Amino acid sequence: MVLLSVSNLKKHFPVKKGIFSSTTQLVKAVDGVSFQLRQGETLGLVGESGCGKTTVGRAILHLIEPTSGEILFKGENVSRLNTRERRELRSSMQIIFQDPFTSLNPRMTVGNIIAEPLKNQKKLSRSERKDRVASLMQKVGLRPEHLGRYPHEFSGGQRQRIGIARSLALNPLVIVCDEPVSALDVSIQAQVINLLVELQEEMRISFLFIAHDLGVVEHISDRVAVMYLGRIVEMAPYEEIYENPLHPYTRALLSAAPIPDPDLKRERILLPGDVPSPINPPSGCGFRTRCPQVKPECRDLEMQLANVESDHWVACPFC
């Protein structure tokens, strides 16, 4: 069942200049992104910094207002909801933030941090709330007796567990995980990834898993979408993306990922230069300035995802 359906999502940030703050340019952070998220699945969203993956996650939750596009949650258009309805919707869609050091209020106890969504959304008695917080803490591997402690008393991995407990408080259907493990050391990263996988299996939550680490995304995702310069360039089940990548950017990205095996000798595709600025993206295909297989026609192409095989979508007509 499709839970979340995003079509042609755009978010343009104005660049204001001069004394009258007139908008002179637009940063096209997200420029036409479409995908669907099914119940209980994990869709990995990968790409390099500045490609717009975080903006997609936040626009879906309406933490930032999208410029245009349609977001349907269980068939209902999220953009048309009024404030009260949107507030209700938030209980089914939650987020886990990247930085466990800044995403928890340092002046609130862990118990209060986890209880806050419950206070806002559910009419529970004090003792019911306390029980719920204790069971949530247990679920994510924290000791319930620590609920009176403050965030600074916990390590990075534990803080990320607090963030996860908070996002689970309202039994959401969708959780946007925005780089949830990139700030953690590998041994701790493995603990948090295992926790997320376990929780998903138990609670049938759908994850939109935003990350730049290709290994982490492969491990956790059912399907993967690769973003470049505000658009999805390729989207397919994870086996397809990792074993049969079609888009030249996906191929280059995969060949660039360092693999912990000294015997593995790979053909590395080195992309020249840097990602172009989203203020002034190249015409036609956004990747053409770095593409090893660029053709003269790419200048006038529209980057459009096309279905090549069942469930494998690519935004390049030459592959």
Residues at the interface with other proteins (CB under 8 A): 48-49, 155, 157-158, 185-191, 193-194, 197, 212-216, 218-220, 238-239, 242-243, 252-264, 268, 270-271, 273-275
Q: Which is nearer to other proteins, 1 or 186 (CB)?
A: 186
Q: Bin 69: left if φ > 0, else alpha if -120 < ψ < 50, else beta.
A: left
Least distance between other proteins and beta carbon 220 (Å): 8
- Rounded-to-integer distance, Cα 157 and Cα 192, Å: 7
Nearer of residues 145 and 267 to other proteins, judged by Cβ:
267
- 145 or 263: whose CB is closer to other proteins? 263
Task: Write down the least CB distance from residue 213 to other proteins, Å.
Answer: 8
Please list the residues that pair with 231 across neighbouring strands: 228
Give the whole-angstrom CA distance, residue 44 versus residue 211: 7
Assess contact for 195 and 164: CB atoms under 8 A.
yes
How far lies 131's CA from each of 28, 114, 169, 202, in Å?
Answer: 45, 12, 12, 20
To other proteins, the closest distance from the beta carbon of 81 in angstroms equals 35
Give the Å distances, CA to CA, from 59 to 55, 95, 143, 236, 302: 6, 12, 34, 22, 23
In single-letter form, the type of residue at position 8 comes to N
C-beta closer to other proteins: residue 189 or 206: 189
To other proteins, the closest distance from the beta carbon of 261 in angstroms equals 6
In the complex, least distance from residue 274 CB atom to other proteins, rounded to whole angstroms? 5
CB of 19 or CB of 186, closer to other proteins = 186
